[in-house]
Amino acid sequence: MKITALVPESLMDEVKKYSGGKNVTESLIIALTDYTNRQKLRKAIQKLKKNPLEFADDFNAEKIRKVNRDL
């Protein structure tokens, strides 16, 4: 998708510096991908805080190791 955006040059310089992209397009793709991944992770963490994972009462690490070994 072709986009025209007004971005401060100082911000673009930082994006290019920290992303390590070869050009503006690659740098923006890296930065936006990183941003969206961080937001997804933040939402997943919030979801886990609301509904924490719980181990089953009969959970046993040795049983799990045996199951994994038998695969």
Asked if the structure places residue 67 within a domain, the reply is no
Q: Is residue 13 part of a domain?
A: yes
Question: How much is the pLDDT for 8?
Answer: 97
**pLDDT value of position 57:** 87
In a domain, 29, yes or no: yes
Residue 3 lies in a domain: yes
Residue 36 CA to residue 56 CA, distance in Å, equals 33
> Predicted confidence band at 25 (pLDDT cuts at 50, 70, 90)?
very high
Neighbours of 54 (CB within 10 A): 7
pLDDT in tens, 5-23: 999 999 999 999 999 999 9
Q: What is residue 29's predicted lDDT score, i.e. its pLDDT? A: 97
Q: What does the block give as tokens for 19?
A: 């992303």
Q: Report the alpha-carbon distance of residue 59 to residue 47 in Å, rounded.
A: 23
Domain with 30, as residue range(s), is 1-53
